[in-house]
Amino acid sequence: MSQTIIITGMVLSASPVGEFDKRVVLLTKEQGKISAFAKGARRPNSPLIGMINPFSFGEFTLYQGRTAYTVVQVSISNYFNELRENIEGAYYGFYFMDFASYYTSEHNDEKMMLKLLYQTMRVLVKRSITYPLVRYIFELKAVCINGEGPQVFQCVTCGDESREKLFSPLKGGLICGECNGGVIDGIRIDTSTLYTLQYVVSSSIEKLYTFTVSDEVLKNFKYIMERYMDIYVDKRFKSLEILEMILKT
């Protein structure tokens, strides 16, 4: 039976359909990732114009038809307009939304990913910590939410917590000196970088973006996340490619 539902979520993407409509992808608290049609949203006098755009967060009233959702009404609580005025910040945001879109699905519990995405957008706007640090924190926490996070508290092979360890992306985390025979990708990890990984993995989302690191730790964090993402994230995002081109200019 068709019905109207109210959901809380964020617009991940919006694309034109036909002459005046839009197709939007929403990451929602109640339904996971869903697609919906916003009829007439591109008409100049539409009450939906300006509301169905990426980054917009709020309540969406949807008509649930037999085969598709239709946006009926929208109440936006945060547009994150500041990101639209900052090309670098915007493409960090687009990358995070693309990542969230790729790793979420319909009718799945995606509350944690939505919460992470929302808090990440807030810190992008505040600029309380550097964009690169935001990126690596987001990536690490997102893969943890997705069930593919590294073991950063003990040896992945024997469970030892005391011996000196290497970080092996291929093994999925720390490898102690007794178990590292045959490890071909071991990365030496200093105490500060290890603590950073442990903090991100274990902290609540609300407390994620409350610290800064030295340039050296950020460099190490970047190297570890690049190696880890190469192995466990089987997608190359166009938004990230554009962002990296922007950063090179």
Q: Sign of the CA dihedral 170, 172, 174, 177?
A: negative
> The whole model's pTM is what?
0.95
- Segment 17-41, tens digit of pLDDT: 989 999 999 999 999 999 999 999 9
Listed residues 44, 79, 114: the one ending a domain: 79
Asked if 90 and 203 sit in the same domain, the reply is yes
Asked if 89 and 57 sit in the same domain, the reply is no
Residue whose C-alpha is closest to residue 98's, from 80, 113, 79, 77: 113
Work out the percent of the chain whose per-residue pLDDT is above 70: 99
Asked if 97 and 175 sit in the same domain, the reply is yes
- Does residue 153 have a pLDDT over 70? yes
Q: What is the pLDDT of residue 182?
A: 87
Rounded CA-CA distance 4/72 in Å is: 9
Asked if 200 and 103 sit in the same domain, the reply is yes
Asked if 105 and 141 sit in the same domain, the reply is yes
* Over residues 230-247, mean pLDDT: 94
Asked if 10 and 96 sit in the same domain, the reply is no
Asked if 199 and 213 sit in the same domain, the reply is yes
Asked if 51 and 110 sit in the same domain, the reply is no
What's the total number of domains in the chain? 2
Rounded CA-CA distance 246/54 in Å is: 20
- Segment 123-133, tens digit of pLDDT: 999 999 999 99
Q: What is the pLDDT of residue 40?
A: 92
Find the domain containing 195 and state its range.
82-248
Beta carbons of 137 and 123 less than 8 angstroms apart? no
- Does residue 1 have a pLDDT over 80? no
Asked if 212 and 122 sit in the same domain, the reply is yes
- Segment 174-192, tens digit of pLDDT: 999 999 988 999 999 999 9
- Does residue 13 have a pLDDT over 90? yes
Listed residues 61, 79, 97: the one ending a domain: 79
- Segment 210-230, tens digit of pLDDT: 999 999 999 999 999 999 999
Structure tokens at 89: 């910040």
Q: What CATH number is given to the structural domain containing 126?
A: 1.20.1440.120
Mean of the per-residue pLDDT values of the chain: 95
Listed residues 79, 105, 123: the one ending a domain: 79
Task: Give buried/exposed letters for 51-75 (b at 16+ CB in 10 A, else e).
Answer: bbbbbbbbebebbbeeeebbbbebe
Residue 177 — φ and ψ, nearest 5°? -60, -25
Asked if 117 and 218 sit in the same domain, the reply is yes
Q: How confident is the model at residue 2 (pLDDT cuts 50, 70, 90)?
A: low
Asked if 121 and 54 sit in the same domain, the reply is no
Q: How confident is the model at residue 107 (pLDDT cuts 50, 70, 90)?
A: confident
Work out the percent of the chain whose per-residue pLDDT is above 90: 90
- Does residue 65 have a pLDDT over 90? no
Asked if 111 and 27 sit in the same domain, the reply is no
Q: What CATH number is given to the structural domain containing 25?
A: 2.40.50.140
